[in-house]
Amino acid sequence: MAWPPLKDRLLSLLDPGYLLYGGARGRSENGELVHYPSGSAFFIHAFRAFILSGNLPTSLRFKQVRDDAFSDFWTKVTAPIDPPPPPAGSATLVPPILSRAHGVVLDIGPGSGSHVSCFSDNANITAIYGAEPTLGLHAPLQQRIDEAKLTDKYHVLGCTADKKELLSALEKQGGVKQLSSDRGTFDTIVCVRVLCSVPNLDEAARELYSLLRPGGELMVVEHIRNPWTKNGSVLGRSMQILYTVLGWTFFLAGCEMGRDTASSLRKAGRWEAVELKTNFEWSALPYLSGTLTKVK
């Protein structure tokens, strides 16, 4: 991908800061276009939970406040805008990859469902299971599912990507006929902007590999550490470090900017084919996109 002009590259370095403190564009409850900074969302929820309500800030309540704040923030900034703007940035990477999904699909951390519509016209998909642990995102996710006419095909699971937790949720849901820890369960696993926040990336990658059936595909669109020592940008990597210091991981629900996701995925198991590409190498949010196919 050709690098844009210097001015555009420099402006792109401010995008994470805009999400963090400047406020990302979204819709209010009455439909007005407003801005929501993730940092402010946390402080507002913390004030309500601990000051107005008089609750002690225990670790459990603190985590709940952070989850609620992120749910509120993410729901608003990913709400549909009418008329919808043309896809830009990482949004252009998602549809071409997800259009190849087939069979029984596992959608890891679908959030508020911003990419759910990519599944709507795919006759090769038999069922989709979305593992979303943040319960505050289930309502907007289900709304996107219904709007995409996937109500009977897309099933929301209130669990993480942890293998035991996921298989337990699937067993309770009862939709997957073949649950196998040896031969895998899914034909396609989709990861869109989610591997940045799993607690242990290497372990998560190995578990996702084991959940794939032989010949199954792992599809990813993930922001990664800027590859500054190769074909990336020293300035882009420096800004990633700065945003981390300023609270990116805390305010964005555990999201980490410095992960070498490609390495973790490659060493997760034996792949028949690996088709991964790095995009936007000049920015503070470069993206890894593509597919990995498990050996048959």
Residue 168, helix vs strand vs coil: helix
Beta-carbon contacts of 106 under 8 Å, excluding residues fewer than 6 positions away, are: 128, 129, 131, 166, 185, 186, 188, 189, 190, 211
Q: Where does the pLDDT of residue 244 fall: very low under 50, low under 70, confident under 90, or very high at 90 and above? A: very high
Q: pLDDT tens across 202-243, in order? A: 999 999 999 999 999 999 999 999 999 988 999 999 999 999
Q: What's the rounded Cα separation, in Å, for the pair 102 and 18?
A: 36
- Which amino acid belongs to residue 54? G
Residues 6+ apart with CB under 8 A from 187: 102, 103, 104, 105, 212, 213, 215, 216, 217
pLDDT (mean) for 150-158: 97
pLDDT digit string, tens, across residues 84-126: 778 889 999 999 999 999 999 999 999 999 999 999 999 999 9
* Topology annotation, domain 89-294: Rossmann fold (3.40.50)
* Domain-wise residue ranges, the chain: 15-77, 89-294
pLDDT value of residue 29: 44
First to last CA, the chain: 32
To the nearest whole percent, how much of the chain has pLDDT over 90? 61
pTM score? 0.88
Average pLDDT over the chain, rounded to an integer: 88
Query: What pLDDT does residue 178 have?
Result: 62
At 173-188, the pLDDT tens digits run 876 766 655 688 999 9
Does residue 21 have a pLDDT over 90? no
Contact 119, 105 (CB under 8 A): yes
Q: How far apart are CA 71 and CA 188, in angstroms?
A: 26
- 19-23, 32-36, 60-64, 144-148: which range is least confident on average? 32-36
Q: What angle do CA 242, 225, 10 make, to 5 degrees?
A: 55
Tokens 């996921």 belong to 166
